[in-house]
């Protein structure tokens, strides 16, 4: 039996960051993760590193280069003959990027003296004011600790009657491994994965149709921003059908056939070579043996935690996708850090009001704080200011003028309540808004700050000025 101060089960962004922070705080820490690379070796980093954030961004980058070369280089006077895409090479690059991240985490474990176990971690029993944990994998180990952090993540949700085979019906895993550009690609769910993966394969030449159950596009996004994004995606040729009801899904030699009714009730059949199902994710507690210690789960299978990530068991904490809240890597990381600090008697804190969201499409969509529709529903008096990238010099020079920055501020105090961006590098621009909101800045604070020229960030300053109806360049 090996004894540790803290055992972390799961080595995704929630788990591996919790382990590193706990080790920094002087604890003797073990992290157990079962993810295997193609050779059966350890591949820490979880969904995010292996089949999520990192590989999807690698493919978005490759496909965006292809799109630029095919459609936009000419306007710069750059001529190309025989443009082609080598999909296996693109996938190999993506795999290299993933491996660099896996290796980086193993290096960080060594550097911080975190003991890593490759295998499945499961509860055995509560004993001596702590917990016995079994590691099953290449080698079996028995561990114990007074504190356990569960960070076992989530899995893709399948449609009833259409299990993932990762050949024709794909989860995010298969969607990141398609070996050649499909002629026709179908997706169910126009959420974050649907839009990102749909964009990758559309840019590479697939005819992409996304079937979405809800009548509104990106319902959680500020309506004005979602409308602008929808317009841009439609112009690019991404077909998005809203308000559909998906019926029977059949696979055959020719691909996948999806029966569905549209928003008006008319029946259709969509025939595609491959189908990606991206209808959300479910918390993963498979193999954790939660019952052995009475760890409480909710009806969705998520581990029940309080605001501080405490479970119903003393000394057992849970973070990331396996608990409530947005399923985002940076949210998981912040919770991991906060829990390690709480175990050390510090006051770890996560501000859920300032967790940013980014959708890495082109244009990118990013936001933090409340949307206009949320403020209206809450009856909060607010002022809005927008600034279009069309009027920004850097955006014109980049040749990417789609979209806008939008500020929402309290009508009386001018405190920033939400910032919403659709446009180039929204993923980077949103950081300024997060900082501003963390410091409870007013729109005027941002409007008075000197922003470099020419830069996209000037659109942020101008949108803040727009709250007071005094833009300078529009």
Name the site residues for ligand FAD (rule: CB under 6 A): 9-15, 32-35, 46-48, 52-53, 56, 120-122, 151-154, 172, 193, 284, 287-288, 320-322, 327-330, 332, 360
Contact string 236-275 vs ligand NAI (x = CB under 6 A) = ----------x-----------------------------
- The residue range among 321-329, 364-372, 415-423, 459-467 that interacts with ligand NAI, by the rule CB under 6 A, is 321-329
Shortest gap between Cβ of 94 and ligand FAD (angstroms)? 12
- Strand pairing report for 130-137 and 141-150: antiparallel
- Cα separation of 454 and 373, whole Å? 32
Q: Is 65 part of the annotated catalytic residue set?
A: no
Contact 102, 42 (CB under 8 A): yes
Tally of CA atoms within 13 A in the half-sphere of 365 that contains its CB: 21
Choice between 121 and 255, CB closer to ligand FAD: 121
Choice between 176 and 441, CB closer to ligand NAI: 176
**Residue 71 phi, psi dihedral angles, 5° rounding:** -120, -20
- Cα separation of 429 and 460, whole Å? 8
Using a 10 angstrom Cβ sphere, with 0-12 exposed, 13-18 middle and 19 or more buried, the burial of residue 428 is middle
Using a 10 angstrom Cβ sphere, with 0-12 exposed, 13-18 middle and 19 or more buried, the burial of residue 308 is middle
List, in sequence order, the alpha helices (H) in 356-392.
372-378
| Residue from the set 360, 367, 387, 407 that interacts with ligand NAI by CB under 6 A | 360
Shortest gap between Cβ of 276 and ligand FAD (angstroms)? 10
Q: Which of residues 14-53 bind ligand NAI (CB under 6 A)?
A: none
Choice between 280 and 314, CB closer to ligand FAD: 280
What, of ligand NAI, ligand FAD, none, does residue 302 touch, CB below 5 to 8 Å by kind? Answer: none
Neighbours of 157 (CB within 10 A): 15
Instruction: Determine, following the binding rule CB under 6 A, whether residue 325 of this chain makes contact with ligand NAI.
Output: no
| Residue from the set 358, 365, 368, 443 that interacts with ligand NAI by CB under 6 A | 358
What, of ligand NAI, ligand FAD, none, does residue 246 touch, CB below 5 to 8 Å by kind? Answer: ligand NAI
Instruction: Determine, following the binding rule CB under 6 A, whether residue 189 of this chain makes contact with ligand NAI.
Output: yes
Instruction: Determine, following the binding rule CB under 6 A, whether residue 212 of this chain makes contact with ligand NAI.
Output: yes
**Residue 199 phi, psi dihedral angles, 5° rounding:** -65, -45
Of 444, 332, 465, residue with least CA distance to 8: 332
Neighbours of 64 (CB within 10 A): 16
With DSSP H G I counted as helix, E B as strand and the rest as coil, what are the percentages for the chain, rounded to 5? 35, 30, 35
| Residue from the set 326, 352, 431, 438 that interacts with ligand NAI by CB under 6 A | 326
Cβ-proximal residue to ligand NAI, closest one: 191
Shortest gap between Cβ of 436 and ligand FAD (angstroms)? 20
What, of ligand NAI, ligand FAD, none, does residue 190 touch, CB below 5 to 8 Å by kind? Answer: ligand NAI
Sequence-ordered list of residues with C-beta below 8 angstroms from that of 372, at least 6 positions apart, any chain: 222, 223, 224, 382, 384, 408, 418
Q: Which of residues 119-178 bind ligand NAI (CB under 6 A)?
A: 159
What, of ligand NAI, ligand FAD, none, does residue 330 touch, CB below 5 to 8 Å by kind? Answer: ligand FAD
Catalytic pick from 71, 72, 268, 453? 453
- Cα separation of 364 and 1, whole Å? 50
- Tell me the catalytic residues: 453
Task: State the residues that interact with ligand NAI by CB under 6 A.
Answer: 159, 188-194, 196, 211-214, 246, 278-281, 326-328, 358-360
């Amino acid at each position: 039996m090996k004894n540790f101060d803290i055992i972390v089960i799961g080595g995704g962004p929630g788990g591996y960051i919790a382990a590193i922070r706990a080790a920094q705080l002087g604890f003797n820490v073990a992290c157990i993760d079962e993810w295997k690379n193609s050779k059966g070796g350890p591949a820490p980093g979880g969904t995010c590193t292996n089949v999520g954030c990192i590989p999807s961004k690698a493919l978005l980058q490759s496909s965006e280069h292809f799109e630029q070369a095919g459609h936009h280089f000419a306007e710069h006077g750059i001529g190309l003959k025989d443009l082609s895409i080598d999909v296996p090479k693109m996938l190999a690059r993506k795999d290299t990027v993933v491996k660099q991240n896996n290796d980086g985490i193993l290096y960080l474990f060594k550097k911080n003296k975190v003991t890593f176990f490759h295998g499945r971690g499961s509860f055995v029993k509560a004993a001596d004011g702590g917990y016995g944990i079994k590691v099953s994998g290449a080698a079996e180990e028995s561990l114990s600790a007074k504190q356990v952090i569960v960070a076992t993540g989530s899995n893709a949700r399948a449609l009833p009657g259409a299990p993932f085979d990762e050949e024709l019906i794909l989860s995010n895993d298969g969607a990141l491994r398609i070996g050649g550009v499909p002629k026709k690609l179908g997706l169910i769910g126009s959420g974050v994965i649907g839009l990102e993966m749909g964009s990758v394969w559309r840019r590479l030449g697939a005819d992409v149709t996304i079937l979405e159950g809800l009548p509104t596009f990106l319902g959680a996004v500020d309506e004005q921003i979602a409308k602008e994004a929808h317009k841009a995606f439609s112009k690019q040729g991404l077909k998005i059908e809203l308000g559909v009801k998906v019926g029977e899904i059949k696979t055959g030699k020719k691909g996948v056939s999806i029966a569905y009714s549209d928003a008006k009730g008319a029946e259709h059949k969509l025939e595609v070579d491959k189908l990606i199902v991206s209808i959300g994710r479910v918390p993963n507690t498979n193999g954790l043996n939660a019952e052995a210690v009475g760890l409480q789960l909710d009806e969705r299978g998520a581990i029940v935690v309080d605001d501080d990530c405490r479970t119903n068991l003393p000394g057992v904490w849970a973070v990331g996708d396996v608990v409530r809240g947005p399923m985002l890597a940076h949210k998981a990381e912040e919770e991991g850090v906060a829990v390690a600090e709480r175990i050390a008697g510090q006051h770890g804190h996560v501000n859920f009001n300032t967790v940013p969201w980014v959708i890495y499409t082109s244009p990118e969509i990013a936001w933090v704080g409340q949307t206009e529709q949320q403020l209206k529903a809450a009856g909060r008096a607010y002022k809005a200011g927008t600034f279009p990238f069309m009027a920004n010099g850097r955006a014109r020079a980049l040749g990417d003028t789609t979209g806008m920055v939008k500020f929402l501020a309290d009508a009386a105090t001018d405190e920033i309540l939400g910032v919403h961006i659709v446009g180039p590098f929204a993923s980077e621009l949103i950081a300024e808004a997060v900082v501003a909101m963390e410091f409870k800045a007013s729109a005027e604070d941002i409007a008075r700050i000197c922003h470099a020229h020419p830069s996209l960030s000037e659109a942020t300053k101008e949108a803040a000025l727009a709250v007071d109806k005094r833009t300078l360049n529009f």
